[in-house]
Structure 1
Amino acid sequence: MTAPIIGFIGAGNMATSLIGGMLQQNIKPAQIIASDRTAEQCERLVKQFGIGTSLDNAVLANECDVLVLAVKPQVMQAVCRDLPRERKTGQLIVSIAAGISCASLEQWLGEGTAIVRCMPNTPSLRRQGVSGLFANASVTEAQKEQAENILNAVGISLWLDQEELIDAVTAVSGSGPAYFFYMMEAMTAAGEKLGLPRDTAERLTLFTALGAADMAVHSDVDAAELRRRVCSPGGTTEQAINSFASDDLPAIVERAMRAAAARGAEMTKELA
């Protein structure tokens, strides 16, 4: 069986992360082609990865079995409309752009186009990402596996049964890293106010977050049980948790995530 050719339109941080991850998963450089607007960026990709490059999206699109659209949402329509309607037979389109629906992509690329829409997050840049994926009705099981292999090169991926749930994925994992960064900011600042040197407070915060996440990922119990195990009755942790509860932290988090999901739905309508 011939190895698939995977093309990238757009060579920003997420695309280069995916390319680097795939090369570590035994995908050969000869299987990957990327396009960018500048010759300098193409030269950098050749030097860094040894892959093929092109300055012409249409030429690249005709050569690929899987075409990853890794451009900003605001230019996606123009990029898609510039591609030929008649492309390689059985081609799969993978879009990593927020707010662009499968219906819009199919309108711009041609009816019946096989499309997987996904929402990766920024820890993908560290091979620690998580992505939500949705496939339209034209995608085969083999194509789903191709898309999954690409995203799994930088973390893990989870399939969704409904495209609308992409907005929920955006609220949880797409935007989620910023929530934890915000919490890290707050803990570092609070530690400093308690008398710790700032660099000490920051390292304590960051490595506590890293350790807690690692425990949660590898534990056989949920986060609520892990929290209970740290809270000794009448102890320090219980006092902090009680303070969070009195401020209704769960409701604060839910309101924030609903706002993120609502904005995701608005963007889909605006960019249609």
Structure 2
Amino acid sequence: MESIEHRPWWNGLLDVAGPPDTDPTYADLVGSRVVVDTDLPGTDPDGPPVTLVVSGGAGQVAGPAALAARRGVPLRAVRVTLRDPADLRGNARRVVAAVEAARVEGALADDVVVAVGMPDAEPGADWCAAVDEVAALELAVSLPVDGADPLRVAAWLEAVLDRETPLTVVGGHPLSVLGAVRRAFDGEGAVEVAGALTGRPAHAVTGMDETALLGVRRWLRGVETGPDGPAVYATALADLGVRG
């Protein structure tokens, strides 16, 4: 697989949920198609790699991953969401244990990104302790940006990046998310980070050169969008003059 450092910063950022757009002009923008594990039996092995969303708990990691391998469906990532708000750290530990077991069994390849979905909650002690568990195994976290308070998202980004943990996000304009992550990484304040999420998407990356944006991609592994995401992203990139 070609490394991020040898591709334009905008390539492969989108994880597209819903019916895939087959327009070949968007192919370089799409990193994966999002598939819920219950839909895996009917998933076409051809096409972009898959981000597999586990619909159940930690114990359901190995089975769907093994099924994908048997059917020849290429996995880019697996997302498991924490579902025990009263004990996020304990829930994260169970996910980490399940991922380790799936890898030992050979059901889950080492190069598949595992993103642990965090709840839309204040990043208090238990929330941050859960991220610590994720970071200890060098997994990623997934943040539910759609509908979340931008200032809360800014606090999440600070907590995650302080732990040098890669992330994916669900929702948000790709350029806005790129700008917000870069600002959080650079130590800008919560207001500035939130402003990148709420302002005009092109403004979120204004003044950032290619090196800075490639640096973001080291941490930001994917932005989940709907079926129209590639077209929206392509239009924004064309307006910036970085992609025809």
TM-score (norm 2): 0.33
Q: Which has the larger radius of gyration?
A: 1
